[in-house]
Structure 1
Amino acid sequence: MKHSDTIAAIATPLGVGGVGIIRVSGKGSLALLQQLFSPSNGDKAESHRMIHGWLAEPESGQKIDEILACYMKSPKSYTGEDIVEFYCHGGMAVLQRALKALISAGARQAQKGEFTKRAFLNGRLDLAQAEAVLDLIKAGTEVGAGYAVGQLEGRLSRVIAGLRAMLVSAQAELEAAIDFSDDLPDFDGRSLAARLLQISQDMAGLIRSASGGRLFRQGLAMAIVGKPNVGKSSLLNALLGEDRALVAGTPGTTRDTIIESIDLNGLPVRLIDTAGLRKAEDGVEKLGVERTSREIDSADVVLVMVDASSGLDSLDKEVIHRTAGARGVIVLNKIDLGLKANLGSLSDEIKGWPVFQTSALYGQGINELKAGIFSYVSSWAEIKGKDYIMVNARHRECLVRANEALARAQQAYLDGMAV
């Protein structure tokens, strides 16, 4: 599918940088290059060859910038159309002036995502690959970027294509049994049912991977909660490896949530330091406590901190009771001062929760805590050991619907429905 117009846009982030890129795509790309660009050595534009020269205004001929330019002839380009990229100096004034000149010469300002849309419409990328472009751009860790690259190069598409081929084969076999029942051997319904079951199980595995995919796409939300002065802000600083949150001995110091990001073995994590849970003494602290409750409800994992150097009091028990039902991790902090806290009376409420001992102030047990959190998340979300993973909610929804249809087909066979 070819478009009649030529689009242009700044391809690099807004701001100041050494190099800024403007991308142009469409059948008029080469003509725009020839109109606005003067090669320094009289070089002619050849596909996939960088040339040096000056970019100028289309009417006045006034020079805009000394640049490099590269022409990429269709179909060997990102969009499958003729593309020209202009490599300017990275100041926004220069880039905006250059873009304005291209638009004055006949290009149209590209809409958001339009280059990738054209790549999809021109058959350069399938839909899953096109969606992977944004996932790659937004990836917060190397592991997340690796999954996006895998989807971009077609790993997930090949898996889906394999499942589709098996379904088409099963459909053809079923239709042949219906249309040519007199000419073919007796239809083996058990064999078909077994194949449908295998396809369904393969789909279910992909669907399970979506839980980890969401975490790589959005980040794991991990709230640090506990009563005042158990070391929540100290733990945040220890996990970050820097002093980000204010640490003080006065209860109620943290009144608002502090959100920071870390890379946990390749998993992007949003750490949320919350206000201590207690009966608030003023309106501002009350708002902080209310926000903490909301963070508990929305978090993927809750780190419940307890002062290990003192016994559990009613406030500790109230915090644990408030987080019961969440995916939780118990952190016994301040072990440098001794270990007196006994969790035995709360075994039912924290069943299945891992327990770790730390001294956040001195960095003791932090590496073990990080490894333990990653292992805990891995126990319920598929975030490691796969070449591909679903990171897009649309993919999961489509597979869920397909698997539900397969389940109905299998049930129909079990109920004795005739072919």
Structure 2
Amino acid sequence: MIESLLVANRGEIARRIIRTARRLGVRAIAVHSEADADLPFVAEADEAVCVGPANPAQSYRNTEAILAAARSTGAQAIHPGYGFLSENADFARTVEASGLIWVGPGGDAISAMGDKINARNLMAAAGVPVAAGTTEPAADVAAAVAAAAEIGYPVMVKAAAGGGGMGMGVAVDEAALRTEYDKVRAFAERMFGDGSVLLERYFPRVRHVEVQILGLADGRVLALGERECSVQRRNQKLVEESPSPAVSPELRSRLLAAAVRAGAAVDYRNAGTVECLLDPTTGEFFFLEMNTRLQVEHPVTELVHGIDLVEEQLRVAAGLPPTFDPDALTVRGHAIELRVNAEDPKRFLPGPGTIKTWVEPTGEGVRVDSGYAEGNTVTPFYDSLMAKLIVHGQDRAEAIARARAAVAAFDLSGPKHNLPFFAELLENQEFLSGDYDTSIVSHLR
């Protein structure tokens, strides 16, 4: 097993990785910005290094500072968490070239999946279903208009280098396409340094379902079940559950097989996620993207399978076999994750501030992965995620009941927060029925 691990991230995911590292006897090293010096993950690490000011470009995305911290602390490996440098192929290669262990897929797999057009083409060649769309970037508005005429309106206009629900727009006709193309291209150039734009068929009613994969050290790719991620605002997830209430055993078999083909196509190692769009009317699903990292929502998979994905990541990176029998995976009950964000519960606008009260719920089947504690300040410099409230039950009904009780018991004041939204959602008949899609949040507004 790896002996010392530098966690190149912050907040709840850094704290989560450190927890597993320390359980395994692995020396955990945190890096942090000046703004995060007082957060729990810094105190809980065996060693901590400040890598720069609040601006992520000068701290959490500062590759030179992070590598210097690894050298000065004698770190053997680097875990990037999610966001920041986690899907930076050049950084992954640099880490390995420096003689360190990269806890994630290789740089080639990250590169292959980082460009959405290239990823679509690779998946189609591997026999993974893809929606109708462009096989090369739309060079200008005229090319986009021509492509849309072939695909058929409405179309989704997407940044080829984008991710996390950013850099996307829907066009219902040519006039809207011209506007969205310019908007997405400008956003992509500003945010990703790459203005390439692709077009895909847009599904007015669709569910977002993803499959957790794990590429083992021996070359096998496993599919660890699916997660339902359709409760979203601005194309970004708020709630995830596993198993998906929309997936039948037959559909699950097809989904998981496709995800394994996707991973095998890029010789995938370590943890990753194959995201798909599911047409609830026809049962068709289409490849959306592959996230070449650990996902925010990984805890629901952990709870239904009884495994620690961070531990499995470390074992793969160290060349060790998994802790479980790959041929005897079982699903136990149902899990739901609620992302507790520092944002108002109606418009979902950020609401940072100092935490005056923070009392986490407890009880059977309740888990909280948090990045903050009472007295900490949620700053505007980073993502608004404060904690993940995860519940597990024997079935979906019990998981929902436990989620209701946990939301009610979570005593949080100071920053704005979205717990009232979850209280409303967990009483909503559309959600309770399991027959919902990505438009459900708009129905609650």
Same fold (TM over 0.5): no
Q: Whose strand fraction is larger, Structure 1's or Structure 2's?
A: 2
Q: Looking at CA atoms only, which structure, 1 or 2, has the larger radius of gyration?
A: 1
TM-score bucket (shorter structure): under 0.3
Q: Whose helix fraction is larger, Structure 1's or Structure 2's?
A: 1
TM-score w.r.t. structure 2 length?
Answer: 0.20
